[in-house]
Structure formats: C-alpha cells, structure tokens
C-alpha cells in the first residue's frame, strides 16, 4: 500500500529522511519500524572536512527552524572509513548526499560514491544556502546546473537526484536544466533563506547571519514548487519541505511528488516516520487507495 518508485528505484514507502536530519551512519533508523522508511538519505559529505559555520547555528521560529550549519562534516575519506560498513549492513536503500564548492568537487564526490554498492543513489546538494556566502552558485542559473549535473552524470550510472533551491524566482528552468543534463529525479526543495534578529544585541540570532528555514512554515512554498516542477519535467519529483503528518505527505503526493522527505519533524520526534507511516496506512485503507495511485492527481481549477 505504501510502495512507490523513484525512477528505477523501488521503495517500500514514500517516506525518506531529509539530508542533514538523520545523521551519517544509519544509527537513527533504530527509532523506526522496519518497512516504514523507504530510503535513508544521508547528511551531505564534501571532499574535504568542513568545520561548519560560527555558532549559534540554530534558532527556532514560530513554525520552523532556521539553521546555518554550513555543511559540517569530516570529509569523504573519514566518512567512508567510519560509516561504510554500518551503511552496507542496513537493509534498506541508502542515498549518499554530495556537496561541493566547484564542479570538480562534485565530480570528486561522485567518483567516491559511484562505485560503492552501499549507495542506491546519489543526491547532489546544489542548494545549501549556508555556504559560499549564500550565493548558491550551482542552483541559481540553468547553465550552472547543466554544467555540474552533466559533469557528474558522465561519471556514474547510479541514479542521480538533484536537490534544488527554493531561493530563486522560478524553479522550473532549473528543474528542466537538471533533467536535460541527466538527473534521474529532483528533490524539491532545500531551505528558504531567512533572518532572525536579536534586536537587543543588534545582531543576527545566528552566528553566520542568514540561515535556511525549514519546518511547517515552508510547506506551502515547497508544495507550490513541487507542483511547478512536476508539471515541467518527466522525471520523478521528491518533496522536501515541512511535512510532519500523513495529511502533509498525501498533499505532496497529489501535488506531484513520488516520495516525501521528512526532516525537521524528526528533530522533535525521531520516530515520526513510523508514526506517519501508520497514519498513511490508515488513511489509504479508508480510501481504498495505494500511495502510488495518488502521485500527480491534482486537478487544477479552470481559469475564471
């Protein structure tokens, strides 16, 4: 009833972890019941270690979380040394997430991940707003998306997912560029650039200044972008943006997503993917539907 597919990848559930929210090693899957998580999407890894941004790195907002982590990680060599064996032992698809500051760095990540059987797919994080001064060099122009995705495509036959940014005027040209360059699926989307001010100190609340907003506050923005992208491309869309219950997930499926990443909700409730899976089974059973039947079924109103 929950089974879905993202291109060639068959998943037992449309629920995936969102990169950066469930760790590097799969340990947190112990919070979940077998069969509830469709795939484990790992935190971003970069070729070299990154210390991340100046603290504070997190601030809560009324319906969300503003983060400025800055892709902290130990670099791909240590990541593989420390985690590969544990990831290989997991009995579910694992998606590696690759970051970089240049086309060559993305290529280096795909060269590292591509040959490894532990990974069912590679998600290219083109859209972290907390590095390179928030300039988003690989997710702001179709030309840059084309360059990086086609360079990575040439290096691997593994499914390549491309995680796009919501911090653009129109997302569809970027989605089309990624598809034409060989992406197998598009993750829509990363966090929304935001600012919280500590007015007494006359300083931003986050050490780095701006941050990326996630959680329920961004869900309608992500929903709109999922719809736009699903209308524009033929490849599958993976939603990422504030889902926290079955109703949110079902909305994303109807809007055009084949799978839905759960992120911020898991910080408060690490087992929420199992709670959402149980809710989904109840909702779908009540309607006599399978999750995959709902994908892209949104009926759009006629113009007045």
**Catalytic residue positions?**
128
Binding footprint of ligand SIN on the chain (CB under 6 A): 20, 44, 67-71, 125, 128-130, 190-191, 212
Nearest alpha carbon to residue 270 among 14, 6, 21: 21
Residue-level length of the chain: 304
**β 94-98/64-67 pair status:** unpaired
Nearer to ligand SIN, 140 or 231 (CB): 140
Nearer to ligand SIN, 194 or 295 (CB): 194
Q: Minimum distance between the CB of residue 277 and ligand SIN, rounded to whole angstroms?
A: 25
Nearer to ligand SIN, 66 or 94 (CB): 66
Nearest alpha carbon to residue 99 among 8, 182, 180, 190: 190
Region of residue 24 (left: phi > 0; alpha: psi -120 to 50; beta: else): alpha
φ/ψ of residue 7, rounded to 5? 60, -125
One-character DSSP codes across 27-38: GGGGGS-TTS-S
Cα atoms in the Cβ-side hemisphere of radius 13 Å centred on 106: 27
Q: Minimum distance between the CB of residue 208 and ligand SIN, rounded to whole angstroms?
A: 9
Nearer to ligand SIN, 212 or 236 (CB): 212
């Amino acid at each position: 009833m929950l089974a879905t597919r993202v291109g060639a990848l068959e998943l037992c559930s449309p629920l995936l972890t969102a990169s950066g929210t469930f760790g590097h090693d799969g340990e947190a899957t112990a919070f979940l019941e077998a069969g509830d998580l469709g795939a484990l999407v790992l935190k971003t890894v970069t070729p070299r270690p990154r210390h991340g941004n100046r603290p504070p790195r997190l601030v809560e907002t009324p319906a969300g979380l503003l983060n400025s982590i800055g892709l902290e990680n130990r670099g791909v060599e240590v990541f593989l040394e420390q985690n590969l064996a544990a990831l290989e032992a997991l009995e579910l698809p694992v998606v590696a997430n690759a970051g970089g500051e240049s086309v060559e760095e993305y290529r280096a990540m795909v060269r590292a991940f591509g040959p490894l059987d532990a990974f069912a797919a590679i998600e290219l994080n083109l859209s972290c707003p907390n590095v390179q001064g928030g300039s988003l060099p690989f997710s702001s122009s179709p030309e840059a998306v084309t360059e990086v995705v086609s360079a990575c495509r040439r290096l691997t036959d593994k499914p390549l997912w491309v995680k796009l940014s919501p911090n653009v005027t129109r997302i569809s040209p970027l989605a089309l560029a990624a598809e034409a360059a060989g992406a197998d699926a598009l993750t829509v989307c990363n966090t929304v650039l935001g600012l919280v001010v500590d007015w007494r100190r006359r300083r931003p609340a986050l050490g780095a200044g701006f941050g990326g907003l996630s959680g329920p506050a961004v869900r309608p923005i992500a929903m709109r972008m999922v719809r736009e992208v699903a209308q524009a491309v033929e490849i599958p869309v993976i939603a990422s943006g504030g889902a926290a219950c079955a109703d949110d997930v079902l909305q994303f499926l109807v809007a055009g997503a084949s799978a839905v990443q759960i992120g911020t909700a898991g910080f408060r409730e690490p087992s929420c993917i199992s709670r959402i899976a149980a809710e989904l089974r109840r909702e779908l059973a009540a309607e006599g539907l399978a999750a995959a039947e709902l994908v892209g079924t949104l009926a759009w109103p006629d113009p007045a």
